[in-house]
Amino acid sequence: MPHILTGLMDLKMVLEALQAKADVLIEALPYIRRFSGETLVVKYGGHAMTNLDAALSFATDVTLLNSIGIKVVVVHGGGPQIQDMLDKVGKESTFKNGYRVTDDETMRIVRMVLVGQVNQDIVTRINHVGGQAVGLSGADGGLLVGRKVTVGGADVGRVGIIEQVKADHINRLTDDHFIPVIAPVAVDTSGQALNVNADLAASAVASQLGARKLLLMTDVAGVKGMDGQVISSIDRAEIPAMMESGILTGGMLPKMKCAVDAVTNGVRKVHIVDGRLRHAMLLELFTDQGAGTEVI
């Protein structure tokens, strides 16, 4: 008799677990219907890129989103990988106002790492889990055209911002169910390569594509208020006051600037998501509670 009761209890636990999974699918259904056919741009970097488990989780999430009809475009960074390579070749790296000073030699290494290593690693992982990813750089077909900039009046070398995105190139791929994976290396009008901040590149791509959403993968849980709790939603009009009050500081400042630029230029929502959390994108997109901070 005790064995029978134990068996019944085990069966009940299994059924409850299955019911919980069914509830998750039911909760996700209206979001899946809402976003199917829409474009989602994801800026990918940080811990989510360098940790193998997180990287595989990201690849699986992207593939799932693509398989249910969401047009996913990935724009990736690679700062830690660039620094590792510079250290290996004995090239000193300097920063001004938060930007890597990019001389010609550094630019060659940036291109080699971003386009030849990081980009292909991401493409390989997505394809390994069943997706159809295609690696691109901004130089491919003049995909990303930019111009050299100074930062705070300082010359930081071949650092640029994006002024033109050939959206039709990207749309042709997503219309055919491919997942473009873009390295943020732009070219200027003379064909010279430019190193572009990945957040800025993702914002420009999302704006030009008229993306429904831009997701910025970070190494924090989201934007936290003065009480230390994650703020689930922020209106862009609130952001200047949040900067003045000190709620937004450090690395969150440029991300919020990118978010403001994106929503100002037609992106409906920007989500700041913790890339360290497994399946963070799915939780943010397909659950009522979410898993980060949205900017509207």
Is it the case that residue 18 has pLDDT exceeding 70?
no
As a whole-number percent, the residues of the chain with pLDDT over 90 amount to 51
3-state secondary structure of 123: helix
Amino acid 17: pLDDT = 63
Q: Report whether 198 contacts 45 (CB < 8 A).
A: yes
Is it the case that residue 184 has pLDDT exceeding 90?
yes
Q: Report whether 145 contacts 188 (CB < 8 A).
A: yes
b/e map 31-45, b = 16+ CB within 10 Å: eeeebeeebbbbbbb
Amino acid 65: pLDDT = 95
Is it the case that residue 116 has pLDDT exceeding 60?
yes
For residue range 234-277, list pLDDT tens digits in order. 888 888 888 877 777 767 777 888 888 999 999 999 998 888 88
What is 36-295's CATH topology? Carbamate kinase (3.40.1160)
**Sign of the Cα pseudo-torsion (173, 197, 44, 289, in order):** negative
Task: Write the CB contacts of 83 (distance below 8 Å, at least 6 apart in sequence).
Answer: 93
3-state secondary structure of 99: strand
- In the chain, where are the structural domains located? 36-295
Q: Report whether 148 contacts 194 (CB < 8 A).
A: yes
For residue range 25-70, list pLDDT tens digits in order. 677 777 788 888 999 999 998 767 878 888 888 999 999 999 999 9
Q: Report whether 81 contacts 117 (CB < 8 A).
A: yes
Is it the case that residue 199 has pLDDT exceeding 80?
yes
For residue range 231-244, list pLDDT tens digits in order. 888 888 888 888 87
